[in-house]
Amino acid sequence: MWPLSTPEYPKHLLKINGDDKSLLQNTYERAKKISDATYVITEIGHAHHIKEQLPELTDDNFVIEPARRGTASCIVAALAHINGRHDADEPIVVLSADHFIRDAEGFAHSFRVASEASADTGRIVLVGVEPDHPATGFGYIQKDGIFDEELFVYNVHSFKEKPVHEVAQDYVRSGNYLWNCGYFVGSVNTFKSNMKEHAPVLLENFERLAATESREDYEKVYLEFENDAIDYALIEKVSNLLVVPASFDWMDLGSFADIHKAAESDEAGNSVHGEKVALIDIENSLIQNFEDKPVAVIGLDNIAVINTPAGILVTRKDLSQKVKDAVNQLQA
């Protein structure tokens, strides 16, 4: 997402397409619809920005990583923090802060269903999104028959890695697959029992963090953890997972093509943000100007032009996933 997103100010802190709230703030507002208690896990380098954006939360609501150690360590840290502060059998919802969702009520409904299913069964419950196109950038969850017809909850058969286009087409046609969005629901006790069976190292990490008595000890222990994703370290090893199909719109804004889809556009398909922008013979394009100097774009189609103090990006939208390659080249 460069040059909008930078290492110092990453995507979840951004206000997308002129929204008055950042992706993080919108995620927090949705979280309040399903829970009275919200905790935010953040790497220490961004903690001050997070606290500025969520001023109503106290220091106790933040779980701060001394350095990045992957989502497995993040979730273990959150469980250790929440343990003792709440009932250990109360479901916990794990959300990503950078997803774009408009239907907040549908979101709340899906996670209430997932929480009820987790509380009733003692299982980890996922929330997956019905695919509307054969995406190759997401993993997939394969359903394995209905578990609860009233709640519309399914058993999970297996996980599929990011597929090639032809395979993704087969997944979509079958109606038996959901996009894996990284949403997990389960209590402290549910996660602990699954870690004991499938990921004993994570359980040991949980117990080590819970036993620390100072911030210094906490940081020392945390920095010894492996950098691992929760999907590989635990979730994909669990045999009795459940999944709830999401009843809300969802986008993982991974490129400027995605941002354009989420934006309002004029009759030519153009979305413009910022002042001093001149367009001539432009179609199906995203133009965003965050500086005072003027931007003029002439005779182009299917492009994104992003002008910020951090840099200028001009790309075909269908190639905007290659921005990371350009950033690596600039850094080199």
Domain residue ranges of the chain, discontinuous segments joined by +: 11-252, 258-331
DSSP assigned state of 124: -
Contact 178, 127 (CB under 8 A): no
> What is the reported pLDDT for 1?
87
pLDDT band of residue 43 (cuts 50, 70, 90) is: very high
> What is the reported pLDDT for 189?
97
Q: 123-127, 213-217, 262-266: which range is least confident on average?
A: 262-266
pLDDT at 93 over 80: yes
Of 124, 119, 116, 68, the C-alpha closest to 94 is 124
DSSP states of 272-316? EESSSEEEES-BS-EEEE-SSS-EEEES-BSEEEEEETTEEEEEE
Q: What are phi and psi of 261, to 5 degrees?
A: -60, -35
Q: Stretch 143-156: mean pLDDT, rounded?
A: 92
Q: Stretch 276-305: mean pLDDT, rounded?
A: 95
pLDDT band of residue 7 (cuts 50, 70, 90) is: confident
Residue 143 CA to residue 166 CA, distance in Å, equals 19
Q: Is 95 helix (H, G, I), strand (E, B) or coil?
A: coil
| Between 95 and 1, the higher pLDDT residue | 95
Residue 250 CA to residue 243 CA, distance in Å, equals 16
| Between 263 and 293, the higher pLDDT residue | 293
Say which CATH topology domain 11-252 has.
Spore Coat Polysaccharide Biosynthesis Protein SpsA; Chain A (3.90.550)
Q: What is the pTM of this model?
A: 0.89
Q: Stretch 77-86: mean pLDDT, rounded?
A: 94
Contact 128, 166 (CB under 8 A): no
Of 76, 37, 114, 81, the C-alpha closest to 194 is 76
pLDDT band of residue 295 (cuts 50, 70, 90) is: very high
Q: Are strands 125-129 and 177-186 parallel, antiparallel or unpaired?
A: antiparallel
Q: Stretch 85-98: mean pLDDT, rounded?
A: 95
pLDDT above 70: percentage of residues in the chain: 100
Of 26, 57, 54, 90, the C-alpha closest to 248 is 26
